[in-house]
Amino acid sequence: MQIDLHLGMTWVVARAAGFSNEQANIIAHASQYVDDATNEGHIKFNNGAAYQRIATAHKMLDYRNIQSLKNQQVWIPFHFLPGNSGLPAGSNPSGRFVHKLVCKPNSYVARDMVNECIAHQHKPYALHLLGITSHVFIDTWGHKGFAGIQHKVNKVDDIKDHNGQIDKHWTKRITDYFMGMLQDDIPSLGHGQALSNPDLPHQHSSYTNGMGEVVERNNPVDFLEAADELCKVYQIYLNQQPTGLNELLKAQIAKCFTDFNMDAGQQRLALWIEAIANDEFSLGPYQLSYIAKGAGSWKHEALGTTLIDKDEDEYTFTQAFLTSNWKLFHDAAKQHRLNIVDIILPRYGICVA
């Protein structure tokens, strides 16, 4: 999924579940920031203090960056949560190990992830962790059928639209994106070969995967289910009955999927923001905004830097850094990765590095 759903829809669902405007803002901001926190390494301060941050994405989630394809501790815990073929811990799917790694919507692994998140409600970074969990949770619908490793299971052929017609533009788009590479040479990680098709809320299509299976994708239906299940997660988090979204809100979100049908996520986000400001979801008007990097971003507020692609050697330390959203996000990201890689996945016989 893209920024319109990780930010706009997530805010709407969080508010519908009972979070305040500002709580929902932190959750939604953290959810989207998973795709934008592309730097890692030590931050040094002028008083001798230091902080270790981690990357939760690669620049532009760039499938052309071959080195980035090797980083399972980014792709698997933050973007392509293994589904263990929908089986509980201790059960193994038939076939090869890769079948354990393929994303499955609302899997036992995903539910374990939610439970670990709820167990950290008392932490200062609790809402930031919930935002990260939200991102990964709804992506189990967007990324279903794909795995966070380079493998033929991710290969895509014969993309067709909902009428069963070959997508004539797909071959050109994929060739242009990968700079003329032959399809057999295109990295088969995640949904790279399908480009943005699995992320578009209005997309209804089919394709043949690398195992020779025909896969039907009805994103409007799948993503509405994801929103409803995310609402239940939030309701459980708030110790409420998990009833999900009411029918009016479901209909309004579904209408957004249909009406906001441009391929550019930022354009769709602008319409979500406008709809929120106009109180079209009946949650009260709110001016949602998001700055990934530069002036006004979480990093800028925490460190005072507006540099986008590289960091200064040394920053001025302030006490406010310790409670800044940027630090709390990275605290949460480290906790999330630990939860997934070291605690949850080994229960399913999955070891990643």
Band the pLDDT of 211: cuts 50, 70, 90: confident
Element (H, E) at 326: helix 325-337
pLDDT attached to residue 191: 46
Band the pLDDT of 195: cuts 50, 70, 90: low
First to last CA, the chain: 25
pLDDT digits (tens, 9 = 90+) for 155-191: 887 777 665 555 555 455 555 554 544 445 445 554 4
Q: Which two tokens stand for residue 166?
A: 């070959």
3-state secondary structure of 217: strand
Angle at 285 between CA 284 and CA 287, to 5 degrees: 140
User: Span 246-260, mean pLDDT?
Assistant: 97
Place of tokens 């998001």: 290
CB 136 within 8 A of CB 87: no
pLDDT attached to residue 95: 79
Place of tokens 């394709």: 207
Q: Which two tokens stand for residue 230?
A: 């995310």
Residues 6+ apart with CB under 8 A from 86: 104, 107, 108
Band the pLDDT of 214: cuts 50, 70, 90: confident
Axis crossing angle, helix 219-237 with helix 10-17, rounded to the nearest 10:
40
Band the pLDDT of 300: cuts 50, 70, 90: very high
One-letter amino acid at 206 equals S
Whether the predicted pLDDT of 296 surpasses 70 = yes
Strands annotated E in the chain: 41-44, 50-53, 156-161, 204-209, 214-218
The candidate with the shortest Cα–Cα distance to 5, out of 191, 230, 177, 170, is: 230
pLDDT digits (tens, 9 = 90+) for 49-101: 999 999 999 764 454 454 555 568 899 999 999 999 999 999 998 878 889 99
pLDDT attached to residue 106: 97
Between residues 192 and 107, the one the model is more confident about: 107
Range among 23-27, 262-266, 309-313 rated most confident:
23-27
CB 109 within 8 A of CB 348: yes
Q: Which two tokens stand for residue 219?
A: 């994103």
In whole angstroms, give the CA distance from residue 125 to residue 338: 15
Residues 6+ apart with CB under 8 A from 301: 324, 325, 326
pLDDT attached to residue 61: 47
- Please give the radius of gyration of the chain, using alpha carbons only, rounded to the nearest integer: 20
pLDDT attached to residue 310: 57
Q: Which two tokens stand for residue 269?
A: 């986000």
Between residues 240 and 152, the one the model is more confident about: 240
pLDDT attached to residue 237: 98
Band the pLDDT of 306: cuts 50, 70, 90: low
Residues 6+ apart with CB under 8 A from 62: 68
pLDDT digits (tens, 9 = 90+) for 323-344: 999 999 999 999 999 999 999 9
pLDDT attached to residue 166: 56
User: What is the overall mean pLDDT for the chain?
Assistant: 87
